[in-house]
Structure 1
Amino acid sequence: MLKPLDPRARQRRSALLRLGALCGVTGLSALASSGDVLAAVAAAGKGPAYEPVLLTRDELLLTGVLAELIIPRTDTPGAMDVGAHRTIDHLLKVCALAPEQARFKAGLARIEAVAQAQGGKRFKALPAARQVALLRALDAGSAPFEGEDQGFFRQLKGYVAFAYYTSEAGATRELAYLPIPGGFQGNYKLTRSSRGWAIQ
């Protein structure tokens, strides 16, 4: 017999569903009510024996490198620390249709092709400064990339943000978190170091 969820687990599920809807990642908000997103997030464990479910091992590694460049480790864990690339692999498998999966894989292949053409190495082997320069060009859709490549990068950033901020570290260490929020404060002083709030 299944045990009922404790209140904290129900609150976390509710928060994940709302965050999925807010992120606007293609295909996620429409499927959130079916529980597919929650299953994907829960299934993407961080153990060393992780086996990719859609991406190849090389594609998974590249996704991790890209995710870490998008949300690097600072005073809080980075995207790789929370296993964002693994969550993305699961999200693509259970929430994305075949054409979107193919576009994602093609976007990764395009980045590898440009890295080989520009630096003679795979993207992960390029110096950090060169990786950042290529991602800036990709973000802007400027040479050697094109507008379609820019669309892929926006999709990737959406996936990374969703995977990161639905992780425990993203929701409680990067964002401020109160299990039971206090009363309304209409004149709350913000500073440059003030953190955003996780959705409760």
Structure 2
Amino acid sequence: MDRRKAIKNIAIGLGGVLSATTIGVLVKDFVLTDAAANSTGLLTAEEAFLAEFSDVLIPTTKSSPGAKAAGVGTFIPMMIAECYPTDIQEIFKNGMKSFQEKCVTSFGKDFQALSVEERIKMVEEARKESLVDIKKPSFFILARDLSILGYFSSEIGCTQARAYLPVPGRFDGSAEYKPGQKAWAT
């Protein structure tokens, strides 16, 4: 199974969590030309920013590490470059740049230099802005969706954030699920 097909299957499984834009891009069959693939030109500094951004969305808890520890900062640019068409790549890159500029305008420093409370405030503002036109893809929606997808398809997300039963194991269609128990990863 190729990576695109595997990610497509995960996206369908997470359908209730991901936006229509992300599911549409992952389910749609198209081939990116070499020029279109990786046209965003995301740099290591932007990967560090995306790691911090995704860690606001999925922070470390006492039961599991957050998105940054799961490597979501490198997952997001890889997905944008390899799976999204050029127009969506540009929306993502321009939205990320605009978000970072808003951080400097609001607090006089870039996102990574903000306190946790300031980061949460900026991410919350971006979330509210994305709700103005939910049919239009935005940096926040794309970054949120890819943070969720990257985290819950990572080893940390599958084995620490969720209950994990390695294969081979027996199938039990009526396994007991206790209140407060982690959701099953497999």
Separation in 1, partners of 2:144, 2:79: 14
Answer yes or no: is 1:21 the counterpart of 2:50.
no
Query: Equivalent residues in 2 for 1:1-200 (5 A)?
Result: 16-23=7-14, 24=18, 25=22, 26-31=24-29, 54-74=41-61, 75-141=63-129, 147=133, 151-178=138-165, 179=167, 180-185=169-174, 188-192=176-180, 194-199=181-186
Counterpart AA for 1:126? L
**2: CA distance between counterparts of 1:110 and 1:158?**
19
Distance 1:77 1:170, change over 3 A: same
CA RMSD of aligned residues (A): 3.0
Q: Give the SS at the match of 2:47.
A: helix
CA contact 2:8–2:26 (8 Å) conserved in 1: no
Per the TM alignment, residue 66 of structure 1 is displaced from its structure 2 partner at its CA by 0.4
Secondary structure at the residue paired with 2:28?
helix
Deviation of the 1:29 alpha carbon = 2.7
User: 153-162 vs 23-32, which deviates more?
Assistant: 23-32
| Larger Rg, first or second structure (1 or 2) | 1
The structure that is helix-richer by fraction is 1
Choose 18-27 or 63-72, whichever is displaced more: 18-27
Q: 1:117 and 1:147, CA in 2 relative to 1: closer, same or farther beyond 3 A?
A: farther
Aligned residues: 166
TM-score norm. by structure 1 comes to 0.71
Larger deviation: 100-109 or 18-27? 18-27
Overall identity of the aligned pairs, in %: 22
Equivalent position amino acid for 1:117 in 2: T
Conserved 8 A contact 1:64-1:79: yes
Cα distance in 1, alignment partners of residues 11 and 74 from structure 2: 17
Deviates more, 1:145-154 or 1:123-132: 145-154
* 8 Å Cα contact 1:31-1:95 kept in structure 2: no
Structure 1's unaligned 5+ residue stretches are 1-9, 35-52
